A = this chain, B = another copy of it.
Amino acid sequence: MAYRETEKVRNRKAATREQVLQCALVLVAQSGFSGIQMTQLAKQAKLATGTLYRYFPSKESLFAEVFKRATEIEVARVERALQQTSGEAPDRIEEALRVFARRALKAPNLAWALIAEPVQAEVDQQRLEYRMRYARLFADAIQQGIDEGSLPLQRSMLSSTAMVGAIAEALIGPLAKVSREMMVPANQQQIIDDILRFCIHGILCSAERRQGAPL
């Protein structure tokens, strides 16, 4: 008779796997993906290193899962801000971008790891997919803005990807370690305001640009 896992065994395995993931999330939030050593992680999860590899066959597969977990949380926050903010589309989009930027600057190591840290191709693939998830959320909101007349006609997906690229890239500098140590809260607020202004103008101003002096 073939060996079949009892429910108890399955549950225990799932719990251990979850524990490994939670430990890894803590490590990433401290010092990025490069800060995860499998031996150290095993120790923290109270497992032998060999046992760890039974749950995650490679560092890449673990990293991809950690990336997914951490990013799902951020995507959910952005989605909630888009849904629950009152007002027209530009207000909702601005608030969602603000939530994204604030959370990033509040947990800069984690944000750096998710947005910019050079990682293995498997994790980079996840990054591409999540960028698309964000873009689709914002594209829906832009489309609603077009429909309700609060935003000018535009290709919502193109504007949305531009916006997601803009906020992510603009945050990379401020998230870098050196700047972080020097950054006071008032500056953070100013940085967020500047990034948001860039993004919101990008989707809000669709008329031909040159009418004499800058607006």
Contacting residue for A199 out of B135, B162, B172, CB 8 A: B162
How far apart are the CA atoms of A202 and B159 in the complex, in Å? Answer: 12
Shortest distance from the beta carbon of A122 to any chain B beta carbon, whole Å: 7
Within 8 A of B (CB), among A199-215: 199-207, 209-210, 214-215
A74-97 contact mask (Cβ, 8 Å, vs B): 1 or 0: 000000000000000010000000
Judge whether A29 is part of the interface by a CB distance below 8 angstroms: no
- Residues of chain B contacted by A161 (CB below 8 angstroms): 169-170, 172-173
Number of chain copies forming the complex: 2
Judge whether A21 is part of the interface by a CB distance below 8 angstroms: no
- Residues of chain B contacted by A168 (CB below 8 angstroms): 165, 169
B118 with A125: CB separation less than 8 A: yes
Q: Which stretch of A48-56, A102-110, A149-157 is in the interface?
A: A149-157
B158 with A162: CB separation less than 8 A: no
Among A154, A172, A198: residue with most chain B CB under 10 A: A198
Among A165, A168, A205, A206: residue with most chain B CB under 10 A: A165
Judge whether A116 is part of the interface by a CB distance below 8 angstroms: yes
B118 with A159: CB separation less than 8 A: no
Shortest distance from the beta carbon of A117 to any chain B beta carbon, whole Å: 8
Shortest distance from the beta carbon of A195 to any chain B beta carbon, whole Å: 6
Beyond A165-B168, A202-B202, 17 additional contacts (C-beta under 8 Å) are: A151-B214, A152-B214, A155-B191, A158-B170, A158-B194, A158-B195, A161-B173, A162-B167, A162-B198, A163-B198, A165-B166, A165-B169, A168-B169, A198-B202, A198-B203, A201-B202, A201-B204
